[in-house]
Amino acid sequence: MNISLKGKKALVGGSSRGIGKAIAQQLANSGASVTLMARSEDKLKNVIDELPVESGQKHQYLLVDFTDFKKYKSTILDYFKKNSVDILVNNTQGPSAGGALEKKVDDYQNAFDLLFKSVVFTTELALEQMIKNEWGRIINIASVSVKEPLSYLALSNTIRAAVVTWAKSLATDVAQHQITVNSILTGYFDTERIHDLNETKAKKLGIPIEEVKSNMEEQVPAKRIGKPEEYGYLVAFLASDRAAYITGTNIPIDGGLLKSL
């Protein structure tokens, strides 16, 4: 099956590394023009240099810090004054790890700004032109923890659950405009983020990080951690015309990790 996104414009959050970078690479490989978003300009420039440039493709980047919603709001508003997108991939860095008893009200507010407000605001801006075009793809990067909460990710469990619920509601409202809204429930992938979480968990448990990783792999029926490029393949499919009848879904990509239906 050929996936062609030629002529489409994509905006990908958190795309200087890890899953976000893999998504940007696969969208570009499929012919889309990609705008990257992250806070490290050096890393963004490096990713831009790695993206393929065929006829008509134009890649660019936005320097943003999702943890500062006020500044992010200003930056993304300026972007949409001059640009429109066909494909929006809502992805940010995750909030700090920790259990429910460790987190305070302010922590939840900060996580809400990071994971929810930035997603909703960016989507509102993107939808204006998508509705006019009668075509669009909104893809939210969420987590398996919205279905089976992880004890050490209380903030992520809580706020990402709100995102996927909002996305389900939005999907119903915009389907008539041939706009799809889907959320991907992310399992364990070989990224810097998972390494950081494993390091935190190793220190807390007083065990080597290699043991944490081994235990993680053992939990997955596939007996391995996912490759970021595998994630990119799914997003490229959902962004294409091939997935026009898929909307309002929560799709796990986890090697069989989730035990619930």
Same domain, 160 and 220: no
Residue 193's pLDDT is: 82
Same domain, 213 and 238: no
Same domain, 21 and 42: yes
Which residue blocks in the chain are alpha helix, DSSP H? 18-29, 41-50, 69-82, 105-112, 118-133, 154-174, 192-205, 209-219, 228-239
Contact 189, 22 (CB under 8 A): no
State the residue range of the domain holding 152.
9-187+229-253
Instruction: Summarize pLDDT for 61-114 with one digit per residue, the tens.
Output: 999 999 999 999 999 999 999 999 999 999 998 898 899 999 999 999 999 999
Q: Is 61 known to be catalytic?
A: no
Instruction: Summarize pLDDT for 129-165 with one digit per residue, the tens.
Output: 999 999 999 999 999 999 999 888 999 999 999 999 9
| Total domains present in the chain | 2
Same domain, 217 and 239: no
- Residues in the chain, total: 261
Same domain, 57 and 114: yes
Same domain, 161 and 235: yes
Confidence of residue 12 (pLDDT cuts 50, 70, 90): very high
Distance CA 142, CA 253 (A): 10
* Residue 98 counted as domain residue: yes
Distance CA 97, CA 195 (A): 12
Contact 129, 84 (CB under 8 A): yes
Instruction: Summarize pLDDT for 31-52 with one digit per residue, the tens.
Output: 999 999 999 999 999 999 999 9
Which one of 72, 152, 188, 245 is the catalytic residue?
A: 152
* Residue 2 counted as domain residue: no
Instruction: Summarize pLDDT for 168-220 with one digit per residue, the tens.
Output: 999 999 999 999 999 999 999 999 888 888 898 898 899 999 999 999 999 99
Residue 56's pLDDT is: 87
Residue 261's pLDDT is: 85
* Residue 148 counted as domain residue: yes
Same domain, 161 and 194: no
Distance CA 64, CA 132 (A): 27
Q: Is 2 helix (H, G, I), strand (E, B) or coil?
A: coil
Assign residue 243 the CATH number of its domain.
Answer: 3.40.50.720
Contact 251, 183 (CB under 8 A): yes
Q: What is the pTM of this model?
A: 0.95
Decide if pLDDT at 248 tops 90. yes
Residue 1's pLDDT is: 82
